[in-house]
Amino acid sequence: MNWIKNLLTVMTAIILTLLFIEILFRVFDIGYGNAPLERSKFYHHAHPKNYSFMMHQPKGEYGGHKIFYDEKGYRVSNSNDSSFLYKDNKNSIVFIGDSYTEANQVPYEDTFVKKVSNYFNINELNLGVSSYSPLIYLLQTKREIINLESNLVVLQIFRNDFSDDAKYLKKAIYKKEQLIRIDGGNRNNFISLMRKSYLLRFFRKSQLLIKELLKKDISNIKKESLIFYNDSVSDEYLKKTSDLINEIKIQLNKANKKLFVFMIPSKGLSQIQECCEKDTVYKRLKHEMEKRDIIFLDISEYFSRYPKQIDLFFPIDIHLTTMGHDVLSKGLTQELQRFILVK
């Protein structure tokens, strides 16, 4: 029976070693720095609650800053900055959007969300989550935003939101013709635990890094990015998403809240210094918002007149750089000044 004893000894040693490495990685913030997503029965997916990690991107375009999620899984500036806003949020502005609003690519202080709230000297609630779209924003509005004291809501749109809405509508659950949730499936506690392991995330980071190094032609990535983010949007998708935004406006109006909508300009056109004159998707959405009497914050001019538009987006990643957030925040503050008094 000695072999059983030896096997148990070896297994115990391996487990203790892995546990020690896990603790070591956590102490020194070593691990795959990307935001883990968990299944959600209401919003399809969500970030883990009360979670933090050191941001890292395998391509090396950004990273080195800490990301914090509060007790609801939304990004905040630090581990202490959360719950008081949900209890006392009258003097605040609510931002809803996808990864552009969440903005994990830059430190929190450099995000347009923080810059805009600082300008108006009010608190902010950043409810942006990667891959969210107006159908999920509608659920957030019904379940959370209408119960907040804040009466200002800024909604961000990106061109993939139209196809995302079409995808999520297939998983939408209705009760008496009212949207109640978007089923992302049952939460797997084991997988959730694994995603929080710094050691496993380090292995994942290494895997992605090796994958990037093996790519022969980075220019192809840029080319694909340029094509995809100039992609057209069908009239059907545009109308459906616009109708969802209008439903959000109706819900907010009932709660005496004002909705503002803006759209992130095209990265593809910015790469060739033609943002935003030829951005037909941007212009069509603006028209749809105006038809529905929804306030559209047109920030295209601020991007158009920037001398080197390509610097507003990361070369390979599709998101805004620190400079991109700065230009966006200046555009938003100028547009919002008509509705918000500067304190």
Task: For Cα atoms 222, 226, 227, give the angle at the middle one, nearest 5 degrees.
Answer: 120
- How far is 295 from 246, CA to CA, in rounded Å? 11
Mean pLDDT of 114-130: 94
**Residue 277 pLDDT more than 60?**
yes
Does 29 or 314 have the greater pLDDT score? 314
Find the range with the poorest average confidence among 58-62, 88-92, 210-214, 269-273: 210-214
Mean pLDDT (the chain) is 84
Q: Where are the domains of the chain?
A: 31-336
pLDDT score, position 305: 92
What is the pTM (predicted TM-score) of this model? 0.84
Whether the Cβ atoms of residue 108 and residue 75 lie closer than 8 Å to each other: yes
Q: Is 207 helix (H, G, I), strand (E, B) or coil?
A: helix
Q: Quick one: pLDDT band at residue 286, thresholds 50, 70, 90?
A: very high
Of 240, 261, 248, 229, the closest CA to residue 165 belongs to 240
Long-range contact pairs involving 334-340 (C-beta distance under 8 Å, separation at least 24): 334/302, 335/260, 335/262, 335/297, 335/298, 335/299, 336/116, 336/120, 336/154, 336/260, 336/297, 339/152, 339/258, 339/260, 339/295, 340/93, 340/120, 340/152
- How far is 46 from 40, CA to CA, in rounded Å? 6
Find the range with the poorest average confidence among 75-84, 109-118, 170-179, 237-246: 75-84
**Residue 11 pLDDT more than 50?**
yes
pLDDT score, position 38: 85
- How far is 69 from 166, CA to CA, in rounded Å? 28
Q: Which residues contact 271 (CB under 8 A, 6 or more apart)?
A: 222, 226, 309, 310, 313
- How far is 110 from 134, CA to CA, in rounded Å? 25
Distance set, CA 338 to CA 49, 159, 288, 323, 334 (Å):
36, 26, 21, 24, 8
Find the range with the poorest average confidence among 32-41, 168-177, 265-274, 299-308: 32-41
**Residue 32 pLDDT more than 60?**
no
pLDDT tens string 220-246: 444 444 444 445 789 999 999 999 999
Paired tokens of 242: 């616009």
Q: Dihedral angle at the C-alpha atoms of 65, 94, 302, 313, nearest 10 degrees?
A: 30
**Residue 326 pLDDT more than 70?**
yes
pLDDT tens string 190-214: 666 666 677 777 776 666 667 656 6
Whether the Cβ atoms of residue 110 and residue 89 lie closer than 8 Å to each other: no
Level-2 CATH architecture, domain 31-336: 3-Layer(aba) Sandwich (3.40)
Of 148, 145, 339, 155, the closest CA to residue 251 belongs to 145
In the block, which residue shows the tokens 């297939």? 170
Whether the Cβ atoms of residue 91 and residue 70 lie closer than 8 Å to each other: no
Q: Which residues contact 1 (CB under 8 A, 6 or more apart)?
A: none
pLDDT tens string 146-194: 999 899 999 999 999 999 999 999 998 888 888 888 987 666 666 666 6
- How far is 71 from 82, CA to CA, in rounded Å? 7
Q: What are the helix and strand counts (H, E) for the chain?
A: 14, 12
Q: Quick one: pLDDT band at residue 117, thresholds 50, 70, 90?
A: very high
pLDDT score, position 58: 63
Q: Quick one: pLDDT band at residue 84, thresholds 50, 70, 90?
A: low
**Residue 251 pLDDT more than 90?**
yes
Mean pLDDT of 6-34: 76
Mean pLDDT of 114-131: 94
Spell out a b/e string for 178-211, using b for 16 or more CB atoms within 10 Å of the CB, else e: ebebbbbeeeeeeeeeebbbbbbbbebbeebbee
